[in-house]
Amino acid sequence: MTRQDRQEKLFRAIGYVGDDLIQRADAPAQAERKQPAVWIKWAALAACCALVIGLAARLPIFQAKSSAPETATMTMETTTQEAPAEEEKAEAPDMTEEAAAEEPAAEAEENTAGAREPAATDTEGQKDGVSVQQALLDTTLGPVKLGMPSQDVRSILGTPKEESDEFYVCTDKGDYRYVTWRYNFTNDPDYISDVKLSFADVGDGFVLDEIMTFGTSDWALPNGLKNGSSVQQLLEAYPDAEPGINGYDGEIFAYGVEAGHVRLTFLVENDVITSISLGTYYAEPSWADETPAEEPAYSFASSDMIVYQKEEDGWLSYHMKGQAAKKLEVILGIEDLTPIDELPQARYYIDFQNGTVVMLGDDRLSGAVYTCENLEAFRAAMDEGADPTPYLTLVQMCAFPAGTDEVVLEMSVACGGLIE
């Protein structure tokens, strides 16, 4: 699995964001709650630029028919000109309040040209009349934004480097169609693509549903954030962004802002943004088959795991707790386990202390999942250096997701001295 594959899977696996942001999206905002700086910026911009746009709209240069990309570019450029807007406002004292009120509505209509409305509009998470979800839907990443028809995107970006076949998902509202495009504008040799675009068709044509950037992509948000920007810049732009999953060493490697079904996510390494994801435009549909999935016989969820590592004279044991345990839980659950035909010789046993035991071979990728009804007998056998398999029930021989080996190795190096 490539680094890009892992980043794409992490975008899917991170359950985002903290409970406080989820509650903010699910309940009306309180008047006294601190508003993220980015929304204040947009609200101030609308007020400052109303008169300027009103005058400019009457000039010949602004009467030409404009496309969605041109409008988005104009909006981004206007964002950096708040001070000139104030000067223009002072020079036009004769404008009526009615004209000033009409212009923001006209601007909002222009900014949504070429973008189709999502199936439902979220009215929650509002403050000062501005919907956080709508603000995310209106945010550009590079030259595009969510909701743009696929033909408009192609006219801007050209033919993609790779274009997937269409695939269908049966939902309670009919068949949804999906397709993905990949571009590599910077020719980054470490990535298949530096931009991935996902399109969805819920019945009225394909529209842009999700945007992802990788590697050396120079696609930026209106506030200038892009791959390579610092975490400090990120938090200055989004002070309410919540940290995502922490690694075993305690370093945060994701931040997110979420409202309803729309998320803006940043993966970070060494305090630098490495990937950005914005989406989705449509809420995830309900499946046509509502039959509940059968609960698995095992679970990788545990805040305190006991790891047994094979030594010449027995088993070295130590605990994996907190962030290290959480990271292993996420990696193991990031994709389906792959069945294998031959069981490797055991090098590690991981006791999740919930009735689940994982065995790993020397490669730390292949092994098996077991259940254990008598953990005391299993642990006694490990302490004595005896064979623990009589106390284990085999669930599946399998290969675990890429990255499992790295997490276990890092944990072994960091915690190997903590002998039980």
> Among 240, 245, 280, which Cα is nearest to 125's?
240
Query: Is 214 domain-assigned?
Result: yes
Q: Does residue 8 or residue 72 have the better pLDDT?
A: 8
Answer yes or no: are the C-beta atoms of 203 and 285 closer than 8 Å: no
- 284 lies in the same domain as 410: no
Number of Cα atoms under 13 Å in the Cβ half of residue 371: 6
Q: Above 80 in pLDDT, residue 71?
A: no
What whole-number distance in Å separates Cα of residue 368 and Cα of residue 341?
Answer: 11
pLDDT band at 409 (very low <50, low <70, confident <90, very high): confident
Contact status, residue 35 vs residue 42, Cβ threshold 8 Å: no
- The pLDDT score that the predictor gives to residue 285 is 73
Confidence of residue 408 (pLDDT cuts 50, 70, 90): confident
Residue 123 lies in a domain: yes
| 155 falls within a domain | yes
Q: Do 282 and 313 fall into the same domain? A: no
Give the pLDDT of residue 205.
Answer: 94
Terminal C-alpha separation, the chain: 35
Residue 356 buriedness (CB in 10 A; 0-12 / 13-18 / 19+): buried
- Asked if 390 contacts 289 with a C-beta cutoff of 8 angstroms, the reply is no
DSSP symbol at 6: H
Angle between helix 82-91 and helix 37-56 axes, rounded to 10 deg: 40
Looking at the fold, whether 177 and 238 belong to one and the same domain comes out as yes
> Does 86 map to a domain?
no
In a domain, 60, yes or no: no
Least confident of 38-42, 184-188, 256-260, 291-295: 38-42
Confidence at 247, pLDDT banded by 50, 70, 90: low
Q: At residue 96, does pLDDT exceed 90?
A: no
Q: How many domains does the chain have?
A: 2
Check whether 321 has a pLDDT greater than 70: yes
Higher pLDDT, 40 or 380: 380
* Amino acid at the residue 202: V
Residue at 145 is within a domain: yes
Q: Is the pLDDT of residue 92 over 70?
A: no
- 348-405 pLDDT, tens digit per residue, is 999 999 999 999 999 999 999 999 999 999 999 999 999 999 999 999 999 999 989 8
Nearest to 420 by CA among 353, 330, 363, 354: 353
300 vs 245, more confident:
300
Same domain, 261 and 354: no
Side-chain-side CA neighbours of 343 within 13 Å: the count stands at: 12
Q: What is the pLDDT of residue 413?
A: 75
pLDDT band at 281 (very low <50, low <70, confident <90, very high): very high
- Distance (Å, rounded) from C-alpha 78 to C-alpha 91? 18
Residue 171 placed within a domain: yes
* Same domain membership, residue 282 and residue 340: no
CA 240 from centre of chain: 16
Indicate if 283 and 329 belong to the same structural domain: no
Query: In which region does residue 230 sit, left (phi positive, over 0), alpha (psi from -120 to 50) or beta (all else)?
Result: beta
Cα gap 353→362, rounded to integer Å? 23
The pTM of this model reads 0.47
More confident residue, 287 or 214: 214
Mean pLDDT of 200-217: 95
173 and 25 in a common domain: yes
Instruction: Name residue, tokens 């009467």.
Output: 63
Distance CA(262)–CA(260), nearest Å, equals 6
Q: How many helices (H) and strands (E) does the chain have?
A: 12, 20
Average pLDDT over residues 338-348: 94
Percent over 90 (pLDDT), the chain = 46
Half-sphere exposure of 164 (CA within 13 A, CB side): 14
- Kindly state the average pLDDT of the residues 244-273: 84
Choosing from 242, 264, 291, the residue where a domain stops is: 291
Residues 247 and 145 in one domain: yes
| Model confidence at 164: pLDDT above 70 | yes
Question: What pLDDT was estimated at residue 249?
Answer: 60
Whether residues 201 and 319 share a domain: the answer is no
Question: Which of 291, 316, 347 is where one domain is finished?
Answer: 291
Instruction: Examine the domain organization and report whether 338 and 256 are in the same domain.
Output: no
Encoded tokens for 162: 């790779």
More confident residue, 151 or 190: 151
Q: Is the pLDDT confidence value at 248 over 90? A: no
As a whole number of Å, the CA-based R_g of the chain is 26
- Residues 276 and 187 grouped into a single domain: yes
Which among 203, 202, 201, 166 has a CA at the least distance from the CA of 181? 166
Range of the domain at 135: 1-32+113-291
At 93, is the pLDDT very low, low, confident or very high (cuts 50, 70, 90)?
A: very low
Count Cβ atoms below 10 Å from residue 282 Cβ, excluding itself: 21
79 within domain boundaries: no
Angle at Cα 264 formed by Cα 241 and Cα 178, nearest 5°?
160
Among 291, 318, 349, identify where a domain stops. Answer: 291
pLDDT above 70 covers a percentage of the chain that reads 63
Residues 322 and 192 placed together within one structural domain of the fold: no
